[in-house]
Amino acid sequence: MQILVRKVPPAGVGVEHPLLDRIYASRGISEVAEMDRKLSTLLSPAELPDIGKAAIRLADAVQKQEKIMIVGDFDADGATSVALCMLALKSFGAKHVDFLVPNRFDFGYGLSPEIVQLAQTKNPDLIMTVDNGVASIAGVAEANAANIDVIITDHHLPGEVLPDAVALVNPNLNDSVFPSKSMAGVGVAYYVLSWLRQELRARDWFQQTQRKEPNLAQYLDLVALGTVADVVPLDRNNRVLVHNGLLRMQRGMTRPGIKALAQVGKRDLTTISAQDLGFAIGPRLNAAGRLEDMSVGIRCLMTQDDAEAKRLAGSLDELNQTRRYLQQDMVADAELIVSQFKVGEQTTGLSVYHENFHQGVVGIVAGRLREKFHRPAIVFADAGGTAPDELKGSARSIDGVNIRDVLDSIATRYPGLLIKFGGHAMAAGLSIKKVHLPRFHKVFDKAVAEVVTEDMLSASLLTDGSLAGEDLNLQTVELLASAGPWGSGFAEPLFSGEFALISQRVVGDTHLKLVVKHGDRVIDCIAFSQPMLSGSPANVLMVYKLAVNDYAGSRTLQLMVEYIEALP
């Protein structure tokens, strides 16, 4: 494992605290103004493609009380997007709003012709997609043939051909000049709703209907949750959205479903962080879409009843426990498969399949393979349902390898090998015929080999260097917590250093509890999924994050160890 230190520009940022100045500068911040997290600093929606067309068509639908159908994705980003649109459109005065989320096992992803046919049973006048749609050429054509208008709001990378929708709002379209390419689907939907509110305001809709104009800030908790759960890069615009959503949660100004999810996840809302959204709340919400039906998660986010929220959050927690058990077995099987590869076989791009794999969990397993072997990884499961001869795969990539572009290159060179694909630079989904799997193994490995370098395939940890002894305290924990939100593309501070090892013991079967010493400071540490260090070394090198151990009402410093090795 290479332990690397982030480069810090000599000029710094100009933040008064030297540690924060160093951390900000190493993350590309050049001036203090870039850390302003006020909502007034958000980018204007005006430059988003087709946002004006989308707002006009939606405003017409609201005024005419047309039937609007929201079609979402079956992950946390999709669920928060659907809940956001349902709640906001109703607050604008729309009376006929419904939602439909494809069951991944029956329909697969996106606005397919089959989903449009299912939507037709509700006779919608307008379909609005959230977190999907940019690749739904056939689905939009099906809707057009049925005289149903379609507005697409999405953030996924587009293909060469775009669907013929009334409006296609996506910051990642090739001709888009919108400065932020990193918004999640829920962020795009939030921007569209803000422009819709402006359009309705211009039409005097709120005055005419004697309706109080809604404050969209009330929905920022949903935007924050969906943004963090989708692991999109936290550029400045996303940090503003997430920060203000977290503030609402911390102040108790959040909906019952998020409160209940925080409770079952054993997280304190008053101190909730982006990490809590990503590791405790998001996975429980995602569990519904992975194993059953995401409508459970959407209802949890939408309900105003505390008792119902608690019941639905409990159901999501149980699904998440089941997901964990499935995941453990699947990861073990996937790692065994990789360990049995022959020399020279899949050395750069990993793709594995097992007949017992659950398609709702393959994305997580691909992520675990990526982390362990530091290779782009795809995990396949049987598609089942109406496509028993097909496999559905989920891909996760490493820095420097755009996995969606890799799949695009495969589709171009080997027509017919991929049935369909789509996604981001770091994550994607695809379908292939089962009979083509052996060929795909070779083709994928070759395609990855063409775009990677040895440095990309070398496991490394990028840290913020060492931390002075006087900074190993709770004040630094609080300083860093207030300086976020931290996440993808704006990494939580990670430090490295040498410590004297006082004791170590295994807790919870797989975790290592340590006590170390730095100067005259004795500090507790926890390293998850880490075996005992052999030989009882006197000194260790650790890469760690600062945290608080809040036990029995006593707050003490704790180091969350990401990597540890014995020193000679």
pTM of the complete model? 0.93
Question: In 3D, which of 275, 321, 283, 238 has the Cα closest to residue 493?
Answer: 275
* Fold of the domain built from segment(s) 45-316: inorganic pyrophosphatase (n-terminal core) (3.90.1640)
In terms of Cα–Cα distance, which of 68, 53, 19 is closest to 479? 19
pLDDT, residue 16, reads 86
- The predicted pLDDT at position 116 comes to 96
CA 450 remoteness from chain centre? 28
Rounded CA-CA distance 430/444 in Å is: 12
- Smallest CA-to-CA distance from 305 within 258, 254, 257, 268 is with 257
Under 8 Å between Cβ of 523 and 517: yes
Query: Could you check whether 341-457 and 461-567 share the same CATH topology?
Result: no
pLDDT of residue 553: 76
What was the pLDDT predicted at 11?
A: 85
Q: What is the pLDDT of residue 72?
A: 95
Fold entry, domain 341-457: Diaminopimelate Epimerase; Chain A, domain 1 (3.10.310)
So what's the pLDDT on residue 2? Answer: 87
Predicted confidence at residue 424, as pLDDT, reads: 83
Q: Which residue has the tokens 């990401």?
A: 562
Beta strand pairing call for 350-353 and 377-382: parallel
Flag residues of the chain having pLDDT under 70: 105-106, 108
pLDDT score recorded for residue 179: 96
Q: Does domain 461-567 have CATH number 2.40.50.460?
A: yes
Residue spans per domain, the chain: 45-316, 341-457, 461-567
Q: What is the pLDDT of residue 453?
A: 93
Q: Quick one: pLDDT at residue 255?
A: 97
**What is the rounded distance in angstroms from the CA atom of residue 19 to the CA atom of residue 495?**
11
Q: What b/e string do you get for 420-449 counting C-beta neighbours within 10 Å, with b at 16 or more?
A: bbbbbbbbbbbbbbeebeeebbebbbebbe
